[in-house]
Amino acid sequence: MARKLFGTDGVRGTANTHPMTADLALRLGAAAGRYFRRDQSAAHRVVIGKDTRLSGYMFENALTAGFTSTGMNVLLLGPVPTPAVGLMTPSMRADVGVMISASHNPHEDNGIKFFGPDGYKLSDEAEAEIEQILESEIEPAQARHIGRARRIDDALFRYVERAKSTFPSHLRLDGLKVVIDCAHGAAYRAAPQVLWELGAEVIPIGVAPNGTNINDGCGSTHTAAAAEAVRQHGADVGICLDGDADRVMVLDETGAVADGDQIMALLAGRWAGEGRLKGGALVATVMSNLGLERHLGESGIALHRTGVGDRYVVEAMRAGGYNMGGEQSGHIVMTDYATTGDGLIAGLQFLREMVETDRPASALVRCFAPVPQLLKNVRYGTGADPLSAEAVRRAIAEAEAQMGARGRLLIRKSGTEPLIRVMAECEDEGLLGQVVDGIVAEVEAAA
């Protein structure tokens, strides 16, 4: 069953523009409520979290109206990281969890993503069924069965304690100076609190959300501000989260950045050495660098690749019995601790490595030499399909022939934005730029 509304990470778009309107959010809440409230005689509940976007208030109220109209009781968590929703859905015996966030996107965008009763994101099939209900006449609950809504005051405390519990109890962060960039997003209170309570000297930035500054020149997609803070304060390390705190980038004491591939290489090697890496494998997407694959292979660790999207990484992890995976973009999934990517917990694992090895961050952020990789994005208009253009297909075929066995080419549509992503890897950097620029030019002409 094909999906029309859901992308690779829920429903996403510009607030007050289809599909991200209050009206659709209300109907989507009602459809999801009807999908999960199959036993009409039992009490059912949903937990709803959000990041700090101004439009979050609108979508929170609309979703609440939709869910309660079908008899679901709503528990409002307020601003919490996405992984907190994955944690609290099963721990509060909810039938479904909802996170209102557009992750690393600018404040004008927002999104709605669902978690099942087990705390994992819904499958494509479940999302397709919700869409089917959405397109039909949604049966409301009888007046006496309308749901109730209430705020949960200790949601932040629950998540803080869970995050702290993933750090070894015999270790402390005393003596470490840590810059934490929360992107003015969902972890603006939780992340600094966790680090401080574990003993670190904390230098927080990106912790003054105003509804419109989320991800604005800060966070995991804009690390320059954190790098400057690391150098200015003489910090030992920097941790950069995105708007909903499910991604992380780590900075060493010079401001150099370790992306998700480098972090996964470090942690997978540590876990393999401890006998904790289930299946002796790491799960990552087709975007992960070829250098990561080579590095893992030298250590006897297999790399299993999936399509782009942390949800597909988690699905492959669960199917294969693996407990670590992620994306180059900074989603690090460790199912021993969380059901989805958790930037703060991944950052704590990096800090654990620093403490236990007594090595500086600069000795840990570069586990392997990446193969030169170039990614460029091309925005396209509504209704356009650049990848179907004959000139684009011809340019892609010519590029693949030019690179041959020396490189790798990946062209795809973003699942969260109207972008064509053109990515290539090649040992020959001159050829790399040539093939990417040639494809980009043809996509721009067709867009």
Give the model confidence (pLDDT) of 435-446 as tens digits. 999 999 999 999
Mean of the pLDDT values across residues 283-304?
95
Domains, the chain, ordered by start: 11-153 (3.40.120.10), 154-366 (3.40.120.10), 373-446 (3.30.310.50)
pLDDT at position 418: 87
Mean of the pLDDT values across residues 143-153?
95
pLDDT at position 2: 63
User: Residue 356 — very low, low, confident or very high, per pLDDT cuts 50/70/90?
Assistant: very high
pLDDT 10s digits, 228-267: 999 999 999 999 999 999 999 999 999 999 999 999 999 9
Mean of the pLDDT values across residues 340-368?
97
Least confident of 31-45, 277-291, 412-426: 31-45
pLDDT at position 108: 98
pLDDT 10s digits, 28-42: 999 999 999 866 556
Q: What is the 3-state secondary structure (H, E, C) of the chain?
A: CCCCCCEECEEEEECCECCECHHHHHHHHHHHHHHHCCCCCCCEEEEEEECCCCCHHHHHHHHHHHHHHCCEEEEEEEECCHHHHHHHHHHCCCCEEEEECCCCCCCCEEEEEEECCCCCECCHHHHHHHHHHHCCCCCCCCHHHCCCEEECCCHHHHHHHHHHHCCCCCCCCCCCEEEEECCCCCCCCHHHHHHHHCCCEEEEECCCCCCCCCCCCCCCCCCHHHHHHHHHHCCCEEEEECCCCCCEEEECCCCCEECHHHHHHHHHHHHHHHCCCHHHEEEEECCCCHHHHHHHHHCCCEEEEECCCHHHHHHHHHHHCCCEEECCCCCEEECCCCCCCCHHHHHHHHHHHHHHHCCCHHHCCCCCCCCCEEEEEEECCCCCCHHHCHHHHHHHHHHHHHHHHHEEEEEEECCCCCEEEEEEEECCHHHHHHHHHHHHHHHHHHC
pLDDT surpassing 60 at residue 1: no
pLDDT at position 399: 93
* Mean pLDDT score across all residues of the chain: 95
pLDDT at position 41: 57
Mean of the pLDDT values across residues 120-149?
93
Residues identified as active-site: 103
* pTM of structure: 0.91
